[in-house]
Chain A
């Protein structure tokens, strides 16, 4: 086994994030079993459902690159969904809600970043605790009952299409491209790579480690806010349970995309395809009549195999 792991073939294969292989395999299965499903309309509907997860992943991959983690996305999504659907701001415009969501995400992300980088608290605990607080707060405000309806304009925006593709999907692609530019073209992107590689080395090379971590968390909070807006538009009603499993799923999709704590070979598009994998995985398994239990098992095994795939390489 170790001979295979150190062989040039394995090294070349493992350069490509696992999500690319999995997505290719899933598309082939779809093509063989249900060729009629492979058109832009049907696929667009499937992909549209995972857009909130996809946007959350953009933040998650950023914090995972600097060896941190953000589990507070679920709380942020729940809070913003509540603010929009409960009618506590009667007559507010779309712009107001967007500004409110972004400000909320920014504030929570900044808080996470300050706690992790300045106060040096474990990122798992801070973001988890914050999520617990936000979930409890929203459930208290709503007494555990679903709040009202989401203003109609959200649903209308969600259902629009441009050049044949649903606009949420286009929005997601645009955001991903922006994040790719941020990581590859800016100084901040270099800082993120340096901090992930080795914090002491980055520190002694003059990289502002604390500021980089804070900024990464702040951007993750912002992404969670955007994910919340799309998620709210997609379900069109208020809920006290929406989005709670998304943070953990976003960690899974990021790993599938070839980004693990501190290392980011998968770039931004690896996790992007990781999210697409989840979308098609559920379609394919539903097609073959696999139940919810089987889906959980498959999901777990795929994440584990993807991580082992990367772990073997790092161990060499």
Chain B
């Protein structure tokens, strides 16, 4: 069915047989976009625009990196958009930041653990479990804060708006996110286990990893906790940027995160993907929206182009599984 070409093209451009998936083509797309934007508009290369690009893309980067962890084990988390909104709502409660800041991460971990428990122990499909969690968390958020408002602790605001070593702080949020994910994925036994579990799930035998002594349920649960924690981190960042709580700020963010992860070559059947691919996927989406704004293209065309790009990139990735 799928021509198993072992040519250089097949290996590099289509990412065949690779554990990292197809990431070279998206990288070429991202670089081409950046070069073209730099040539076509004078504002793109300006310092303020680049700082803006990083700050705008940061919530997507943080959520996409989290999403990648669950996608690698063949899962999906649709609840992260709600977790982001929920986090901003908690931070905008009239409470000192010493309580709310650890609180949001604790609650996010609880949400992630519930997702993971339902999926691994109660045998609920990830789409179903996280979809219901999305409704529940969004409902609670709207009780806490029906419309946007409230004030976020000054510390949170400073963490996003300030500068350090002459660079805007969002840059450091990005570096910290990437380093943390790198350590988890490539610098620990846990990351290796994730790829092993995902590979087993993708090949249709979910027991494969367990037969090698890897505790699959526990590791999958941890992946959902990590995903929720990253979503909470994105929520803290956004709260610092909008300086209030907003029940709708995270709306549809989960779909953007999945889009970025998929563009970066991580396959939804699990086991294949990479951190640099996800970062490239985020860069493609961020450049797309930034570039179209600079070129004064209506946001509606942006949406359509994003969809076409996603279709084109995933159509090039080959896998065996039919379905989800």
Chain A positions within 8 Å of B, measured between CB atoms, are 66-69, 115-126, 128-137, 139-140, 143-144, 199-200, 209-210, 213, 248, 251-252, 255, 260-261, 291-301, 303-304, 307-308, 311-312, 314-315
Query: What would 18 A/B residue contacts be, using CB atoms closer than 8 Å?
Result: A122-B323, A124-B258, A125-B314, A128-B310, A129-B307, A129-B308, A132-B306, A136-B301, A293-B139, A293-B143, A294-B143, A299-B132, A300-B131, A300-B136, A303-B135, A312-B122, A315-B122, A315-B123
Do the beta carbons of A117 and B322 come within 8 Å of each other? yes
- At the interface, yes or no: B138 with Cβ under 8 Å from chain A? yes
- At the interface, yes or no: B127 with Cβ under 8 Å from chain A? yes
User: In the complex, A199→B138 CA distance in Å?
Assistant: 36
User: In the complex, A117→B308 CA distance in Å?
Assistant: 19
Stretch at the interface among B28-36, B185-193, B238-246, B261-269: B261-269
- At the interface, yes or no: B45 with Cβ under 8 Å from chain A? no
Do the beta carbons of A260 and B133 come within 8 Å of each other? no
Do the beta carbons of B128 and A260 come within 8 Å of each other? yes
Q: Smallest CB–CB gap between B63 and chain A, Å? A: 16
User: In the complex, A132→B309 CA distance in Å?
Assistant: 11
With a CB–CB cut-off of 8 A, which chain A residues contact B298?
A: 140, 143-144
Number of interface residues of B (CB under 8 A): 55
Do the beta carbons of B306 and A303 come within 8 Å of each other? no
Chain B 143-156, CB-CB to A under 8 Å as 1, else 0, gives 10010000000000
Q: Smallest CB–CB gap between B1 and chain A, Å? A: 8
Do the beta carbons of A296 and B136 come within 8 Å of each other? yes
Do the beta carbons of B300 and A261 come within 8 Å of each other? no
Please pick, from B139, B262, B307, B319, the residue contacting A297 in the complex, using a CB distance under 8 A: B139
With a CB–CB cut-off of 8 A, which chain A residues contact B258?
A: 124-125, 128
Nearest chain-A residue to B317 (Cβ)?
A121
Please pick, from A124, A133, A295, the residue contacting B139 in the complex, using a CB distance under 8 A: A295
Chain B positions within 8 Å of A, measured between CB atoms, are 1-2, 76, 118, 122-125, 127-129, 131-143, 146, 204, 255, 258-259, 262, 267-269, 298, 300-308, 310-311, 314-315, 317-324
Do the beta carbons of A139 and B303 come within 8 Å of each other? yes
Do the beta carbons of B262 and A133 come within 8 Å of each other? no
Q: Smallest CB–CB gap between A134 and chain B, Å? A: 8
Nearest chain-A residue to B137 (Cβ)?
A300
Nearest chain-B residue to A262 (Cβ)?
B323
Do the beta carbons of B129 and A304 come within 8 Å of each other? yes
- Total residue contacts A-B, CB cutoff 8 A: 179
With a CB–CB cut-off of 8 A, which chain A residues contact B131?
A: 248, 251-252, 300, 303
Do the beta carbons of B269 and A122 come within 8 Å of each other? yes
Do the beta carbons of A130 and B139 come within 8 Å of each other? no
Please pick, from A123, A135, A260, A296, the residue contacting B323 in the complex, using a CB distance under 8 A: A123
* Additional pairs, 5, CB under 8 Å, beyond known A68-B324, A128-B259, A136-B307: A69-B127, A133-B311, A252-B131, A300-B132, A304-B128
User: In the complex, A298→B302 CA distance in Å?
Assistant: 35
User: In the complex, A122→B267 CA distance in Å?
Assistant: 8
Please pick, from B122, B134, B306, B320, the residue contacting A311 in the complex, using a CB distance under 8 A: B122
Nearest 9 pairs between A and B by C-beta? A300-B135, A136-B304, A136-B303, A311-B123, A296-B139, A132-B307, A133-B307, A297-B139, A293-B142
User: In the complex, A131→B252 CA distance in Å?
Assistant: 13
With a CB–CB cut-off of 8 A, which chain A residues contact B255?
A: 128, 132
With a CB–CB cut-off of 8 A, which chain B residues contact A119?
A: 315
With a CB–CB cut-off of 8 A, which chain A residues contact B307?
A: 129-134, 136
Q: Smallest CB–CB gap between A229 and chain B, Å? A: 24
Given A293-B139, A307-B124, A129 and B304 contact (CB-CB distance below 8 Å): no
User: In the complex, A135→B127 CA distance in Å?
Assistant: 22
Nearest chain-B residue to A302 (Cβ)?
B132
Q: Smallest CB–CB gap between A122 and chain B, Å? A: 4
Do the beta carbons of A314 and B323 come within 8 Å of each other? no
